[in-house]
Amino acid sequence: MLLVGFFVFLSATPALAALEYKTLEAIPLIGSQPSGNDFPAYLQGLYNFAFLAIPLCALFMISVGGFMYLTSGGNTSQMGTAKEIIFDSIIGIFIAFLAWLFLYVINPDLVNINIGLNQASTTGTGTGTGTGTGTPATGSAADIIKRLRDAGVGISISGRSEEEAFTGISESAVAGVIKLKKDCGCAVTITSAVRPESNGSAHQSGNAMDLREDLILGSYLANKKTSAQLGQFNISKICTTPSWYDRLSTNCGTFTEPASSPHFHLQF
């Protein structure tokens, strides 16, 4: 309860929107690491690590209890202690699962910790046809970043500044990802936007964004793909890592994103 209260406090405190946190140590067992000053991504990593550590610790304690039971030699006291360790470990796993399920039922964002450290916007636009006109988004890069974060969209850019990543981004991409966040209600985190690449690149033209791979977001997009409703988010193409290719990718031919960098590439 204290942990949930802490996250509620963070998400309800506008003053923390400018909070910067320099990542000093990598978080084990979570794959890609948060970079730069992305404090929400660091919290997400700690949360993911905790849910990975719980079953591992429980399995270790069950093994300890089993070993104690097998080597008790008929000692009823040691056998009783071993049974308690095994029982408590199983109960711990059950409680952790119930806590996750309880938070997920309330709001899927609570289990994704997409707190954003910003006030969420109650408005959202973007009902385009998915063709992506390339019309630049209104305002400066700083205005666009604020607009995204106010809508609850996370930003975790590495290798370049956030201002560079959103200079020249198209309005269809910005409006589309904001509407996606609003309708999905799940964690939506941009990891790449405008990049100086070869001529004709969707990233270069400002019509593409990379989103952090997420199970709930991926399932939501796959469902919209099946029902042919991606156009409401201005999405014309999705390319993914191989694990998601059959379920989610559209109009990519044989091309997929590299498995070493898991993300969803959305072209608007």
Q: Would you say residue 134 lies in a domain? A: no
| Residue 155 φ/ψ, nearest 5 degrees | -130, 125
Question: Looking at 72, 93, 112, which one is the last position of a domain?
Answer: 112
Return the pLDDT at 130. Answer: 37
Q: Would you say residue 58 lies in a domain? A: yes
Are 146 and 188 in a shared domain? yes
pLDDT in tens, 104-144: 777 665 665 544 444 333 333 333 333 344 688 778 888 99
Can you give the CATH number for the domain in which 206 is found?
A: 3.30.1380
Residues shown for the chain: 268
Q: Would you say residue 61 lies in a domain? A: yes
Are 183 and 75 in a shared domain? no
Domain that holds residue 52: 2-112
Return the pLDDT at 4. Answer: 45
Of 30-39, 171-180, 216-225, which gets the smallest average pLDDT? 30-39
**Integer CA distances (angstroms), 83 to 72, 90, 107, 111, 112, in order:** 11, 11, 36, 32, 35
pLDDT in tens, 59-94: 899 999 999 989 888 888 888 998 999 999 899 888
**What is residue 2's three-state secondary structure?**
helix
Q: Would you say residue 120 lies in a domain? A: no
For residues 15 and 138, which has the higher predicted lDDT (pLDDT)? Answer: 138
Spatial distance between the Cα atoms of 169 and 199, rounded to a whole number of angstroms:
16
How many degrees, rounded to 5, is the angle at CA 183 between CA 161 and CA 226?
Answer: 105
Tally of structural domains, the chain? 2
Q: Would you say residue 259 lies in a domain? A: yes
Are 106 and 173 in a shared domain? no
What does the pLDDT average to over 209-218?
A: 88
What does the pLDDT average to over 26-31?
A: 56
Are 154 and 220 in a shared domain? yes
Mean predicted lDDT score pLDDT of the chain: 75
